[in-house]
Amino acid sequence: MNLSRKHLLTGAVVALAVIVVLLKYGAYLLNPWTRDGQIRAEVVQITPRVSGPIVALPIVDNQFVKAGDLLFEIDPRTYKASLDQARAQYDMTGDNYQAQEKEIEGAEAQITASKAQIRQAESSIKQLDAQIVQDKAEFERQQDLLPKRATSQKSVDRARANYNVTLEQREGALAAVAQANASLAQAQAALARTRATLGSLGDANASLRQAKAAVDQAQLNLEFTQVKAPVDGYITNLNLRLGSQAVANQPALALVDISSYWVHGYFKETSIENIGHGDKAIVTLMSYPDDPISGHVDSIGWGIAQQDGSTGFELLPTISPTFEWIRLAQRVPVRIHLDEVPDNVALRVGTTASVLVNTGSAGDQ
């Protein structure tokens, strides 16, 4: 009797253990879990826009900085000189522009004066033509009266002189018209040349815009000598020293953006079928095992790198050996957004985490 009772008790314990294992396995299948997780964050590569020696370095490695804080300063003297030179060139360009504007005004005034001279000379020619007709008639009348002793030789000579003077005046008026036309053509040519050299007027002038752009670029380069933090974060792996040469467009240090932390959980491809966007997740850091962090699934990766077939030694493809009867499941990254991080937990990029996803919980409170 005692033996049967022991067998029943043992069988009950074994059955209970099997049930627990099955429940746990079912929970594992429904709520996938992985120990292959990693803390990630956006790492900003601080890259100077100009080159030069570092003359100020108010930060230290692993320091917290706020957006706008000075990280380091590049020697600004060269860029101040370039700015002064650009401003001087801008002033010279403005002076030249004003001088050319005055030349245009002078050429336009000369054109107006030449046109007035032409009108005046043409008016004089018309008056002289009428006077010539009158003086010629008077001269011919005096000649007809002389044989009849109705006039004197002196009157005839006076009429002849008046007639000749009027003819000479007309020739002078014609020469004045020709000279005024030549002056007009010369002034118009000078105006065209000056306008072509000057270009557009006002703010649209190419020379002024080019000089202004050079000033703006020099001003920007001077401002770029002060490299500031674009976001709140932590300085990481600082290797700069005072006097070090900063090179334009070459990363100088790394800044971890504290507002961008997330977790990558690498789940087996056989476990991601039921994981959906928004599913609740629990993240446990190896460095803080007693402080789980709540989160939710943000997205699931759509691809992983392929190792087999990549170029290896002597440009031959690299193939990893595998056992034919074992098929290893690949790991797919699942991005977990952290909802709220406890105050005592300090997240560090690259540290290890375990991730549990509660499938079908999207939208649950």
Q: Print pLDDT tens along the chain (365 aa).
A: 555 766 677 777 777 887 777 777 666 667 889 999 999 999 999 999 999 999 999 999 999 999 999 999 999 999 999 999 999 998 888 777 777 666 666 667 777 777 777 777 767 777 767 776 776 776 667 677 667 666 677 776 676 777 677 777 777 777 777 777 777 677 677 666 666 665 555 565 777 788 889 999 999 999 999 999 999 999 998 989 999 999 999 999 999 999 999 999 999 988 888 898 999 999 999 999 999 999 999 999 998 887 776 777 777 787 777 666 677 788 999 999 999 899 899 999 999 999 999 988 876 65
DSSP string, 32-95: -EEEEEEEE--EEEE--SS-EEEEE----TT-EE-TT-EEEEE--HHHHHHHHHHHHHHHHHHH
Residues 86, 70 share a domain: no
The CA-to-CA distance between both ends of the chain, in Å, stands at: 54
What's the pLDDT score for residue 234? 96
- Between the CA of residue 305 and those of 120, 266, 353, what are the distances in Å? 91, 13, 22
Question: Order of strands, edge to edge, in the sheet holding 226-228?
Answer: 226-228, 70-74, 52-56, 245-246
CATH code for the domain of 57: 2.40.50.100
Quick check: is 12 in a domain? Answer: no
Count of structural domains, the chain: 3
What's the pLDDT score for residue 42? 94
What's the pLDDT score for residue 227? 96
What's the pLDDT score for residue 25? 65
Distance (Å, whole) CA 44 – CA 260: 11
Distance (Å, whole) CA 251 – CA 256: 14
What's the pLDDT score for residue 199? 54
Residues 279, 232 share a domain: no
Distance (Å, whole) CA 9 – CA 4: 9
Half-sphere CA count of 113, side-chain side, radius 13 A: 11
What's the pLDDT score for residue 139? 60
Strand partners, 265: 37, 334
Q: Which amino acid is at 17?
A: A
Residues 145, 65 share a domain: no
Half-sphere CA count of 326, side-chain side, radius 13 A: 5
Residue among 253, 352, 344 at smallest CA distance from 35: 352
Beta strands 70-74 and 253-257, pairing class: unpaired
Residues 83, 70 share a domain: no
DSSP string, 264-276: EEEEETTT-TT--
Quick check: is 160 in a domain? Answer: yes
Q: Which amino acid is at 128?
A: L
Residues 235, 194 share a domain: no
131, 214 Cβ separation under 8 angstroms: no
Neighbouring residues of 85: CB distance < 8 A, sequence distance ≥ 6: 218
> Residue 276's domain spans which residues?
31-41+259-358
Residues 172, 297 share a domain: no
CATH code for the domain of 301: 2.40.30.170
Residues 235, 301 share a domain: no
> Which residue's entry shows tokens 């030179």?
85
Which tokens is 135 given? 């003086």
What's the pLDDT score for residue 117? 72
How much helix, strand and coil, in percent to the nearest 5, is found in the chain? Answer: 45, 20, 30
Read off φ and ψ for residue 293, nearest 5 degrees: -115, 130
Q: Dihedral sign, CA of 104, 109, 110, 115?
A: positive
Beta strands 233-236 and 226-228, pairing class: unpaired
**Of 199, 219, 239, which residue is a domain's last?**
219
Distance (Å, whole) CA 131 – CA 173: 13
Question: Order of strands, edge to edge, in the sheet holding 64-65?
Answer: 43-46, 253-257, 233-236, 64-65
Neighbouring residues of 155: CB distance < 8 A, sequence distance ≥ 6: 142
Quick check: is 10 in a domain? Answer: no
